[in-house]
Amino acid sequence: MHQGIMKAWLESSHLNGANSTYVEEMYEAYQEDPQSVSEDWQVVFDNLPHANGASADVPEAAHSKVRDYFRSLALEGSHKGSARVTDPEVDAKQVKVLQMINAHRFRGHQNANLDPLELWKRDKVSELDPAFHGLTSEDMQREFNTGSFAHGGETMKLVDLISALKTTYCGSIGAEYMHMIDTDEKRWIQQRLEPSLGRANYDKTAKTRILRGLNAAEGMEKYLGAKFPGAKRFSLEGGDALVPMMREIIYRAGEAGTKEVVVGMAHRGRLNLLVNILGKKPAELFDEFAGKHSDALNGSGDVKYHQGFSSDFKTPGGNVHLALAFNPSHLEIVNPVVMGSVRARLDRRGCDDGLEVLPITIHGDSAITGQGIVQETFNMSQTRGFKVGGSIRLVINNQVGFTTSNQDDIRSTEYCTDIAKMVQAPIFHVNADDPEAVVFISQLAVDYRNEFKRDVVIDLVCYRRHGHNEADEPSATQPLMYAKIKKHPTPRKIYADKLIAENTLAADEVTGMINDYRDALDHGDCVVDEWRPMTLHSVDWSPYINREWDEEYPAQMSMDRIQNLANKISYVPESHKLQSRVAKIYKDRTLMAKGEKLLDWGFAETLAYASILEDKKRIRITGQDSGRGTFFHRHAVLHNQNDASAYMPLRNISDDQGPIDLTDSVLSEASVLAFEYGYATAEPGGLTLWEAQFGDFANCAQVVIDQFLSSGEQKWGRLCGLTMLLPHGYEGQGPEHSSARLERFLQLCANHNMQVCVPSTPAQVYHMLRRQVVRPMRRPLIVMSPKSLLRHPLAVSTMEELAQGTFQNVIPEMDSLDSNKVDRVVFCSGKVYFELLERRRKENITNVALIRVEQLYPFPREEMLETLAQYQHVKDFVWCQEEPQNQGAWYCSQHHFWGAIPAGAELTYAGREASAAPACGYPTLHAQQQDSLIKTALKL
């Protein structure tokens, strides 16, 4: 039907130009809002300059063309004084030419020359064929208006136009950008691609630099292959263009004013970048291959292809600091870590637009499409709390993931990069055997990122010369591909031959380059000319190195100061109308500040933040409901009920206070926790906090906990002071909302790698949070944070406890029991203490003492021994917990309790029976179990 209408229209008098203004105005109205014109006209305009299958915004791209066209018709009409002055067939062809231009912009990449091996089977795209548009060989020499195509003049011979389109859109670069909504961005890309037909015009210096990069990439792998045959190095070969590409990206970024570049990548090509871009000394790498390790290393160390590195790099625009993030084997998880690290650096520099710090993430083709963390990271990329001004994402697309290469097995999308379309990122596929195209598009990518502050993707289509690693035999699973690879010349050779053929370089210069590089490796010194010793990174970590958790620290502050802070955090401007429940909370806070009410959890926690900010330190808190608090206790961000504006008392502490970012996060655990890990490993000065909505949700981020948080210092010497707040407590809410899986954290504890705390009072949370910043040790703090305790009448503190106290790792018996009469001591952590206390008081029990262990790891042995001094006569010790026996602290911590109780005493267990689920789903069963464990603990 559409085509019928189109045909009718083409044949109608609309084309005669007499009514062109009317048509043009209508077209403009249609551009604003397609619904504003009649349905028939919508169909006409929809079909006008469309490529088949194109999206609704195509007409916009050709708007000027269509407008000019109507005007020219009008002009011709007035000249000739006739209602029909042009040949309808010719006019229709002009429209078809515009359609063909757009077809190339939309789908040219599908027929681009991207695969160096030429193995990709790609269907022919009929819209890219002139015949599809009814354009014949007779039309080839005719001039047509080229609309918005940004090459040549207003008109071109069809034959030249087609050639220009093919060169631009179907050469070594496949540009995918017409999915983007923003017209300015699309136009920007067209203006960068079309005038030069997507080709660079590099001088001899630039070309030589590119060849130098390829030469180094290949030389390094060959050298390692010869010196350490069969050793795993995850060779870059096939994707050698990555080296010149990285160099040019850093050059371009440096020229634009970037000061730091943070890179995240998995194994492939890592050793190559370490030596050829970051400037790691080859001799050091060879030592690692030979199995030597540095005496300076205290921890476990890590394999060479997980290692990070830092250096400075000279660019024409000034030196740039480079940091390659350490990376575990888990693919892609380093991406949000890199983004967090970048955000911390940007915040420190006060750079809001991202220009000064550039993140580059390097992906494998199977991983970028296979791993969900990639989606999570894209989703964060433009959000308030997580944006970094865009990142450059490079895919080493070697068309195989370990041994899986068949597209039917590997993905359900056309390209491995399709995920990037969710954030409207432009995607540039490029043939890695054309290094000039690679460099050209890399420069464009840097400029795009800096211009629009958004992610951009380069899909470096290459191959993998060897197996997954060097001990692997790839032809067992990819026989045809590897038969082809065997015969395929290396990227260095292809480019060197080209430069020799065009007389840019002489053959002996090329040979000299190879020999020089090999000699440099033999020598073992840095092979990167641009390498400079590190002076640019902006944080001094030395105050935090070799610190321990039990170091003394100044915990106390004057009552005056604390009173002043209490007033500040409870003040809300009158004009800011609070919701009634929130108003009640703030009314209570005012009473607490006046000393008329004991302090609750939310008040003490907020006061801790206020004091840290007043000390000019930075605070960053994220989590799914951090502003309000999952359990309605925090209300750090106050929403005006009249106009929805936000007010944060914590931003109004003093004129020169530290900054606070308190943002609700995207609905993710893995990427957000990884981001905060990255932030905290780059920002030691302040307090970085992640809060889970419910504690067990942290298990979605288990990889971050296992592979970064708990082991990053041991493996890589990277300190991290991140605090995790994990709501935990058995309130009868079922298996999924009770436990933060304390046992998993305790099981990961060794070498004083992190702290696991279960604070039970407002004063304790206050001191615990302050301690994490004031004390110079930077290690993760895992907090089993409360739910019902947030409002428990006994879980209250005084202002004096805040001002004068300190964090108590162990809290001794609080009631005045006669210790001589005590014949049982119950250890416990968390909210169960209050249940034990209330029951003991109710039953008038005086022979059972209750001791709270507020820090389960590192176990506070000295404090525990001190606390138990008065109970040396006691033989009966009990650990009481709410969790089932196989969970909680019982199995992981009992050796510490055994080690602290008097010789000859017994330690027994009071808690739920072992269970596969963390908690039961029935409130009555929960209550029975809870009653039973309390009774067991109190000998009732």
- Using alpha carbons, list the distances in angstroms from residue 352 to 388, 452, 646: 8, 13, 20
Distance of alpha carbon 825 from its chain centroid, rounded? 48
Tell me the residue number closest to ligand AMP, measured at CB. 310
Q: Which is nearer to ligand AMP, 265 or 416 (CB)?
A: 265
370-374: long-range contacts at Cβ-Cβ below 8 A with a sequence spacing of 24 or more?
A: 370/331, 370/401, 370/410, 370/411, 371/331, 371/332, 371/333, 372/670, 373/332, 373/333, 373/335, 373/336, 373/670, 373/671, 373/674, 374/332, 374/335, 374/419
Give the residue among 263, 266, 262, 258 at the shortest CA–CA distance from 239: 266
Distance CA 147, CA 169 (A): 17
To the nearest whole angstrom, how small is the minimum distance from the Cβ of residue 447 to ligand AMP? 25
- Residue 535's CB is within 10 A of a number of other CB atoms, namely 8
3-state class of 906 per DSSP?
strand
To the nearest whole angstrom, how small is the minimum distance from the Cβ of residue 940 to ligand AMP? 50
- For residues 570, 571, 574, 580, the Cα torsion angle rounded to the nearest 10 degrees is -10
To the nearest whole angstrom, how small is the minimum distance from the Cβ of residue 543 to ligand AMP? 11
Cα diameter, the chain: 118
CB 312 within 8 A of CB 321: yes
Per-residue 3-state assignment (H helix, E strand, C coil) for 147-216:
CCCCCCCCEEEHHHHHHHHHHHHCCCEEEECCCCCCHHHHHHHHHHHCCCCCCCCCCHHHHHHHHHHHHH
641 contact partners, CB below 8 Å, separation of at least 6 = 577, 578, 579
Q: Which is nearer to ligand AMP, 457 or 680 (CB)?
A: 680
To the nearest whole angstrom, how small is the minimum distance from the Cβ of residue 345 to ligand AMP? 7
- Residue 302's CB is within 10 A of a number of other CB atoms, namely 20
Q: Which is nearer to ligand AMP, 450 or 688 (CB)?
A: 688
To the nearest whole angstrom, how small is the minimum distance from the Cβ of residue 537 to ligand AMP? 4
DSSP string, 405-419: --HHHH-SSSSTTGG
Q: Which is nearer to ligand AMP, 484 or 537 (CB)?
A: 537
End-to-end CA distance of the chain: 85
To the nearest whole angstrom, how small is the minimum distance from the Cβ of residue 320 to ligand AMP? 11
- Residue 547's CB is within 10 A of a number of other CB atoms, namely 14
Per-residue 3-state assignment (H helix, E strand, C coil) for 535-596:
CCCCCCCHHHCCCCCCCCCCCCCCHHHHHHHHHHHHCCCCCCCCCHHHHHHHHHHHHHHCCC
To the nearest whole angstrom, how small is the minimum distance from the Cβ of residue 719 to ligand AMP? 4
To the nearest whole angstrom, how small is the minimum distance from the Cβ of residue 776 to ligand AMP? 12
309-315 and 318-324 beta bridge pairing: antiparallel
Q: Which is nearer to ligand AMP, 541 or 898 (CB)?
A: 541
Q: Which is nearer to ligand AMP, 180 or 324 (CB)?
A: 324
- Residue 473's CB is within 10 A of a number of other CB atoms, namely 11
DSSP string, 112-150: S---TT--------GGGSGGGGT--GGGTTSEEE-TT--
Q: Which is nearer to ligand AMP, 602 or 685 (CB)?
A: 685
456-461 and 392-397 beta bridge pairing: parallel
Give the residue among 774, 786, 769, 854 at the shortest CA–CA distance from 814: 854
357-364 and 392-397 beta bridge pairing: parallel
To the nearest whole angstrom, how small is the minimum distance from the Cβ of residue 716 to ligand AMP? 8
Q: Which is nearer to ligand AMP, 395 or 722 (CB)?
A: 722
Q: Which is nearer to ligand AMP, 261 or 856 (CB)?
A: 261
Question: What residues pair up with 828 in beta bridges, in sequence order?
Answer: 852, 880
To the nearest whole angstrom, how small is the minimum distance from the Cβ of residue 260 to ligand AMP? 7
Tokens 């000394």 belong to which residue? 281
- Site residues (vs ligand AMP, CB under 6 A): 310, 323, 537, 541, 681, 718-720
CB 472 within 8 A of CB 480: no
3-state class of 822 per DSSP?
coil
Q: Which stretches does DSSP call E strand in 293-350?
A: 309-315, 318-324
Q: Which is nearer to ligand AMP, 537 or 791 (CB)?
A: 537
CB 529 within 8 A of CB 315: no
309-315 and 392-397 beta bridge pairing: unpaired
Q: Which is nearer to ligand AMP, 449 or 778 (CB)?
A: 778
Give the residue among 317, 344, 308 at the shortest CA–CA distance from 259: 317
To the nearest whole angstrom, how small is the minimum distance from the Cβ of residue 328 to ligand AMP? 15
CB 148 within 8 A of CB 410: no
To the nearest whole angstrom, how small is the minimum distance from the Cβ of residue 333 to ligand AMP? 17
Q: Which is nearer to ligand AMP, 197 or 536 (CB)?
A: 536
Q: Which is nearer to ligand AMP, 86 or 310 (CB)?
A: 310
To the nearest whole angstrom, how small is the minimum distance from the Cβ of residue 671 to ligand AMP? 19
To the nearest whole angstrom, how small is the minimum distance from the Cβ of residue 872 to ligand AMP? 43
Q: Which is nearer to ligand AMP, 310 or 567 (CB)?
A: 310
To the nearest whole angstrom, how small is the minimum distance from the Cβ of residue 323 to ligand AMP? 3
Q: Which is nearer to ligand AMP, 713 or 801 (CB)?
A: 713
- Residue 477's CB is within 10 A of a number of other CB atoms, namely 17
To the nearest whole angstrom, how small is the minimum distance from the Cβ of residue 392 to ligand AMP? 18
To the nearest whole angstrom, how small is the minimum distance from the Cβ of residue 608 to ligand AMP? 23
To the nearest whole angstrom, how small is the minimum distance from the Cβ of residue 701 to ligand AMP? 19
Q: Which is nearer to ligand AMP, 48 or 680 (CB)?
A: 680
CB 533 within 8 A of CB 539: no
